[in-house]
Amino acid sequence: MQVMGWDLTHPRTHLGVALVLSGAALLAAVAVGVTIGMGFYNIGADAPHTRPVYKVLETLRDRSISVRAAGIKAPANLNDPKRIASGAGLYTEMCSGCHLAPGMEKTEMSQGLYPQAPELWRHADLTAGEQFWAIKHGVKMTAMPAWGRTHSDELIWDMVAFVRQLPKMSPAQYQAVIKSAPADHDEMMKEGGMPGMATPGMATPSKYPDGHNGGDH
């Protein structure tokens, strides 16, 4: 069998192809090394990635979250109004500045981020497990923090419960659910088992089985 004049059945051809591929890989590695070492790549948030780089990073993010969230099972009560109200309070204080909300204008923070934080009220393209994992563990180099360092699994599921309702909400409905949120955020955090409120050196136990804690896989 011949391809572009190469006899692919001949051992020497196999060796030649291997050498060509190895040489190409070496040149690519050198090019990347020079680009990094000389500081050619502009890391500024106001200088967008090239399309190939952005596509690679986007795919890496999506696959990483999907694989790690595969074993996470959501609680059965994500539609509980109390859970949604709790999540509304947390979202408004911690998330709306970047991810916005129905009827909310873009903030200085949201406009300055790169990559842009997704406007979660416009679409819901992640599963509940993927949302939980992303909120708990954050995403490197996106300004998305790992809220699991300071919030219990229960509170993170509250946020998931609310986020899953966002695309269905009008501005008026959003304002209504915000008004139903617990008034005292600090007290809500304590009741929810915020690790930061626990005794130093003592881990806060999760209120969910191991399958719900979103641990690394």
Q: Where are the domains of the chain?
A: 51-196
Q: What angle do CA 93, 61, 157 make, to 5 degrees?
A: 40
Amino acid at 48: P
| Residue of 158, 89, 168 lying closest to 123 (CA atoms) | 168
Q: What is the pLDDT of residue 21?
A: 78
Domain 51-196, CATH among 1.20.950, 1.10.760, 1.10.238, 1.10.3470: 1.10.760
Question: What's the CA gap between 5 and 168, in Å, rounded?
Answer: 59
Determine how many CB atoms are found less than 10 A away from the CB of residue 97: 16
Please tell me the pTM assigned to this model. Answer: 0.74
Percent of the chain with pLDDT over 90: 60
Question: What's the CA gap between 154 and 78, in Å, rounded?
Answer: 11
Q: Summarize the confidence of residues 45-53 as an average pLDDT.
A: 92
Contact (CB, 8 A) for 64 and 126: no
Q: Which position has the higher pLDDT, 209 or 37? A: 37
Strand partners, 139: 144
Per-residue pLDDT of 164-199, as tens digits, reads 999 999 999 999 999 988 866 676 666 655 544 443
